[in-house]
Amino acid sequence: MNNPDLARFSINQMTVRQLSLPELVIACVELGVRGVGLWREPVQAYGVEAAAGLVRDAGLTVTTLCRGGFLTATDPVERAEALGDNHAAIDEAATLGTDTLVLVSGGLPIGSKDMHGARERIADALSVLAPYAAERGVRLAIEPLHPMYASDRCVVSTLAQALDLAERFPAHQVGVAVDTYHVWWDDRAPEQIARAGAAGRIHTFQLADWTTPLPEGVLTGRGQVGDGAIDLRQWKGHVDAAGYTGPIEVELFNEELWARDGREVLAETADRFLTHVIK
């Protein structure tokens, strides 16, 4: 299958995590999906070199690796461990042949209420990680996460904050991940997408829809494309207008989708992408 309308479509591995890596690769080939966003844990479990070969031999592009980050610790040992883990993530990204490592910055350390300090520690860590990544052909993409994750996962809640951090570094080193799930509510996001695009800092564009009620813990409630409140076509228009021509990755964490046949979910997701985003 070779559908030109799917040329920019990429499936994030987490969307169909019920598929093993070989199952995912086969399904992509059969369905004409050319891009995959991978996650470190399943890739490590399969073997990074082996995963790289599997994907490369199938002619697939690894659009992103998820994820590095968690750079907000104050404890020196924890900070050193986080830096080490991020160096490893960069190496893995390079091995997989992807140019983009997505960063989830990290939340507040236990007991801390200091958002500003946490954001500054991210910048400190980036000053170490960004040159290391660039030497290996890997760009870091700071992903602002929805403000509902501000305390425990990511103190970077808006594209404006992510760009304020990214702009301390060259664009080929540090940019942003634009994920509709995280930014859709933000009326400033379109102007920030323009700002990011003008500087060549949109390093990935990810789609998920917003559905309610949110589940306990709010991690696994991302809606299938077209099921929710987000005008995804409009957001694609924003990144188009900002000059972004790269892959468009669908990344869903959704218990209902995970309970279904993974190949069927992948086919449905590609179809939704065509219907709700492209056509």
* Site track 166-205 with its own copies (rule: CB under 8 A), x = hit: ------------------xxxxx-----------------
* Residue type present at position 220: T
Which of these ranges, 23-31, 106-114, 128-136, 166-174, lies near its own copies under the rule CB under 8 A?
106-114
Measured from the Cβ of residue 105, the count of other Cβ atoms closer than 10 Å reads 29
CB-based contact 194:168 (threshold 8 Å): no
Nearer to its own copies, 114 or 271 (CB): 114
Judged by CB under 8 A, the residue of 7, 45, 128, 218 near its own copies is 218
Judged by CB under 8 A, the residue of 8, 121, 146, 201 near its own copies is 146
Query: Phi, psi (5° rounding) for residue 110?
Result: -50, 125
115 binds its own copies (CB under 8 A): yes
Helix/strand/coil (H, E, C) string of 206-265? EECEECCCCCCCCCCEEECCCCCCCCHHHHHHHHHHCCCCCCEEECCCEHHHHCCCHHHH
Judged by CB under 8 A, the residue of 59, 84, 147, 243 near its own copies is 147
Rounded CA-CA distance 119/30 in Å is 43
Strands 100-104 and 61-69, sheet pairing: parallel
Nearer to its own copies, 137 or 147 (CB): 147
Judged by CB under 8 A, the residue of 29, 134, 150, 199 near its own copies is 150
279 binds its own copies (CB under 8 A): no
216 binds its own copies (CB under 8 A): yes
Q: How far is the CB of 103 from its own copies (least distance, A)?
A: 18
Helix (H) or strand (E) holding 188: none
106 binds its own copies (CB under 8 A): no
CA-wise closest residue to 58 among 92, 97, 91, 22: 22
Query: Phi, psi (5° rounding) for residue 3?
Result: -100, 110
Q: How many residues bind its own copies (CB under 8 A)?
A: 34
Rounded CA-CA distance 4/80 in Å is 45
123 binds its own copies (CB under 8 A): no
Judged by CB under 8 A, the residue of 1, 4, 57, 212 near its own copies is 212
Rounded CA-CA distance 49/249 in Å is 23
Instruction: By CB under 8 A, name the binding residues for its own copies.
Output: 108, 112-116, 146-148, 150-152, 157-158, 160-161, 184-188, 210, 212-218, 228-231, 234
